[in-house]
Chains A and B, each alone.
Chain A
Amino acid sequence: MRTLISDFIAGFPPAPTALIGLAAMDDGAALPVGDQFLIVTTDSHVVQPIFFPGGDIGRLSISGTVNDLAMMGATEPLGLTCALVIEEGFPREQLERIQRSIQETCREAGATVVTGDTKVMGRGEVDGVILNTTGVGLTRRVIPDSGLRPGDRIILTGTIGDHGLAIMARRHNLSMDADLRSDVAPINRLVAEAIAAANGSLVAMKDPTRGGLSSALHEMADKSGVGIVLDEASVPVNASVRAAAELLGLDPMHIANEGKAVMGVRPEAAALMLAALRAHPLGARAAIVGTCIAEHRGQVILDTGLGKRLLAEPEGELLPRIC
């Protein structure tokens, strides 16, 4: 997927003024405006099912864009756009439900939808509904995903695997009584607390969405030119997620999250930042999970407590293992 994306964007000329543009393949772009940077990010959302335990496509589309802005350092969105592509015959009451969810999530994030667009396509030309959101926000200091250096600590803001497993359980009709709920949430206010507490020492940030924690760490290690040693035992995973993943032969490290961040912080500021995260309800289970090293650049080494191995980058769609 990363190759597909980089091949596609190679076709665009670089933007001369952008501090961070397409080529960086970060969460968004950073454009200089006076002594600040305008962060711009966009995301199209398709999800099956449209409504799932813990959220829906509306909550997902607002959280995704607000979080992408926050990952670059812009924790107060100036405004969002929202474009809808709807399949003819899509139930009106579902649309209203999505609309309510969008408003509620915007309230949580302190964000406003300022403009939008709606298109209707013929039956069968689109599967239900597609939502696109674009967000803009200002920041004085851009936080890239490439700022790690040896010795830095990796902090995860909470449990992993919740969103992907909740979706998968619903999609594959796996009958589970376990409480699998998506973690989808706007975390810009949580991130703001971390930035304030770290006081310049928060040097890299990424949200572990598609590809999970593994993909996020690989990208950060690769772009920063460091190795990352991940301590498996300190990675928070809900018991129900751990059990369900175990039974399905899946690794929570590869499963998508929609309300978490991976942060790289200078070692001296790690404790303070961790305390600030834990003081916020969305960061109650935050933990220091890893350390950056100079060797094994671009690699993520998993210390399982029983031994060490390289953490693999996920490939393709995750499917329950058969045998």
Chain B
Amino acid sequence: MNPATIDAAVAQLKFRDPATAKALVGRLHEIVASLPRKISVMHVCGSHEQAIAKFGLRSVLPRDLNVIMGPGCPVCITDMPEVDEAVVLAQQGARICTYGDMIRVPGTTRSLAQAQAEGANVEVVYSVSQCLDIARAHPDEEVVFFATGFETTAVATAAVALDANVPRNLTILSAHKYVPPAMEIVARTPETRIEGFLAAGHAAIITGWGIFEAFAAEHRVPVVVAGFEPLDILAGLVKLVELARDGRFEVANMYPRCVTREGNLRAQEQMWQVFELRGGHWRGIAFVPDGNLVLREAFAHLDARRRFTIDLASFYDGVPRSLTGQCICGPIMTGLAAPTDCRLFGRECLPESPVGACMVSSEGTCKIWHQYGGYPELGDVREHRVGD
């Protein structure tokens, strides 16, 4: 980290100015109070929930504004059979590389961390490019990158796939997901009654905000692209309830310092060169048409699913199922249930022994609720500015 990075991080603090926040919160209360009924909006990004929780924003939001956390955590929506595939490959002797949180996500019988404890080779990587070094360092082994995450990480995987010097012993097990189709699912679920979407700023950096225009028009719902600092989120919410109040079903970009209408064209080009869309299950949610990013035919040589026989059927044969079947991740991620509605939450399912994926990732709904106390009622706590 160089001093310039530090300056940048400190400069970021201006997006945390309490006075500006207070003004935005005041505006939010005004608008919501002027509405005839309660309003529910949804964000579809774990990082949004993280920031909302970290800065205590829920304690100042109007009671009649329900901000629901949607299917926005890439770790949480990775399907159990996808984890099982990685576990089976690890047990077959492949060296599995993946992002940190993924190793603790429970599969049908075990997580990658448990497979590792039993002797499998599992490595945490910070970036897909590390897999290249690992594959070169172990030329006699099959190295598999268990690739998870949304557009934001899929573009990095694509860049590696396009590298002419990919070692022969490296393959990709893609569990990459594409966000827009999941928003479709939620918008079509009538009982959710979502009146506005807060879209994730980092994914929009890649896709551009224009991608949401057809969605907003078709589902007659406003979409606001927002960043991740407290003021970004508050300004995004103000814009979102304004648009909802006025019945303006359009897209607003409240993260213009990073997001453009067309997005990062070079990254998009690379992503679609390597991946194509296919329907697939998202953990706990549903079958999401066009929700998965799979490797195209031209990249078959890099596809772990084509290089290896992954025999899930015999893996499932007679194995005891874990508690995971009782986990209600799905309703939680679609905003129909709160973590406290799950009978496992805080009992069998804890951060140190997660049952569901939502308790694993730092972006998972249940982990965040467990860490920050859910939505504690702190309205009775008066101001205790020090020195009073």
Contact between B56 and A303, CB atoms less than 8 A apart: yes
Chain A residues positioned under 8 Å from B387 (CB to CB): 288
> What string of 1s and 0s marks CB contacts (under 8 Å) between A271-312 and chain B?
000000000000000011111010110000111111111101
Contact between A307 and B10, CB atoms less than 8 A apart: no
Asked if B60 is at the interface of the complex by the 8 Å CB criterion, the answer is yes
Chain B residues positioned under 8 Å from A295 (CB to CB): 380-381
> What string of 1s and 0s marks CB contacts (under 8 Å) between A244-255 and chain B?
101101010000
Q: A153-B386, A246-B9, A323-B363 are in contact. Are A315 and B351 (CB under 8 A)?
A: yes
- Closest chain B CB from A266 CB (angstroms): 15
Tally chain B residues at the interface, Cβ within 8 Å: 48
Contact between B59 and A305, CB atoms less than 8 A apart: no
- Closest chain A CB from B165 CB (angstroms): 25
- Which residue of chain B has the shortest Cβ distance to A155 in the bound complex? B386
User: Taking each of B149, B381, B386, which has the highest tally of chain A beta carbons within 10 Å of its own beta carbon?
Assistant: B386
Contact between B59 and A308, CB atoms less than 8 A apart: yes
- Closest chain B CB from A162 CB (angstroms): 15
> What string of 1s and 0s marks CB contacts (under 8 Å) between B118-143 and chain A?
00000010100000000000000000
Contact between A247 and B9, CB atoms less than 8 A apart: yes
Question: B55 contacts which of A153, A239, A304 (Cβ < 8 Å)?
Answer: A304
- Which residue of chain A has the shortest Cβ distance to B350 in the bound complex? A315
Contact between B100 and A312, CB atoms less than 8 A apart: no
Contact between B2 and A309, CB atoms less than 8 A apart: no
Q: Which of B176-184, B191-199, B371-379 contacts A (4 or more CB under 8 A)?
A: B371-379
Q: Which of A96-104, A173-181, A191-199 contacts B (4 or more CB under 8 A)?
A: A173-181
Q: A246-B12, A249-B362, A308-B378 are in contact. Are A316 and B352 (CB under 8 A)?
A: yes
Pair count A-B, CB < 8 A:
122
User: Taking each of B3, B10, B361, B371, which has the highest tally of chain A beta carbons within 10 Å of its own beta carbon?
Assistant: B371
Contact between B381 and A229, CB atoms less than 8 A apart: yes
Asked if B169 is at the interface of the complex by the 8 Å CB criterion, the answer is no
Complex: A79 Cα to B197 Cα, angstroms? 65
Asked if A201 is at the interface of the complex by the 8 Å CB criterion, the answer is no
Asked if B74 is at the interface of the complex by the 8 Å CB criterion, the answer is yes
Contact between B376 and A309, CB atoms less than 8 A apart: yes
Asked if A240 is at the interface of the complex by the 8 Å CB criterion, the answer is yes
- Which residue of chain B has the shortest Cβ distance to A303 in the bound complex? B384
Contact between A178 and B6, CB atoms less than 8 A apart: yes
Q: A176-B1, A323-B74, A323-B99 are in contact. Are A310 and B372 (CB under 8 A)?
A: yes
Chain A residues positioned under 8 Å from B56 (CB to CB): 302-304, 306-309
Q: A177-B2, A322-B99, A322-B124 are in contact. Are A309 and B386 (CB under 8 A)?
A: no
Complex: A315 Cα to B56 Cα, angstroms? 20
Asked if A2 is at the interface of the complex by the 8 Å CB criterion, the answer is no
Question: A309 contacts which of B1, B16, B59 (Cβ < 8 Å)?
Answer: B59
Complex: A178 Cα to B352 Cα, angstroms? 32
**Could you tell me the dominant secondary structure of chain A's interface residues?**
mixed
Complex: A242 Cα to B378 Cα, angstroms? 26
Chain B residues positioned under 8 Å from A243 (CB to CB): 1, 5-6, 9-10
> What string of 1s and 0s marks CB contacts (under 8 Å) between B62-82 and chain A?
000000000000110000000
Asked if A231 is at the interface of the complex by the 8 Å CB criterion, the answer is yes
Chain B residues positioned under 8 Å from A175 (CB to CB): 1
- Closest chain B CB from A232 CB (angstroms): 9
Asked if A319 is at the interface of the complex by the 8 Å CB criterion, the answer is yes
Complex: A234 Cα to B124 Cα, angstroms? 37
Contact between A301 and B60, CB atoms less than 8 A apart: no
Complex: A246 Cα to B12 Cα, angstroms? 10
Complex: A287 Cα to B16 Cα, angstroms? 22
- Which residue of chain A has the shortest Cβ distance to B362 in the bound complex? A321
Question: A310 contacts which of B5, B6, B376 (Cβ < 8 Å)?
Answer: B376
Q: What are 30 A-B contacts with C-beta separation under 8 Å?
A: A177-B3, A178-B3, A231-B386, A239-B6, A240-B6, A243-B1, A246-B9, A290-B384, A295-B380, A301-B378, A301-B381, A303-B384, A304-B56, A305-B18, A305-B21, A306-B16, A306-B57, A306-B60, A307-B56, A309-B53, A309-B372, A309-B376, A309-B378, A312-B373, A319-B100, A321-B362, A322-B124, A323-B99, A323-B149, A323-B153
A interface with B by C-beta (< 8 Å): 153, 174-178, 227, 229, 231, 233-234, 239-240, 242-244, 246-247, 249, 251, 287-291, 293, 295-296, 301-310, 312, 315-316, 319, 321-323
Q: Known contacts A288-B387, A309-B53; can you find 6 more A-B pairs with CB under 8 A? A: A293-B384, A304-B56, A305-B21, A306-B60, A323-B362, A323-B363
B interface with A by C-beta (< 8 Å): 1-3, 5-6, 9-10, 12, 16, 18, 21, 53-60, 74-75, 99-101, 124, 126, 149, 153, 230, 351-352, 361-363, 370-373, 376, 378, 380-381, 383-388
Q: 3 nearest interchain CB pairs?
A: A307-B56, A310-B373, A322-B100
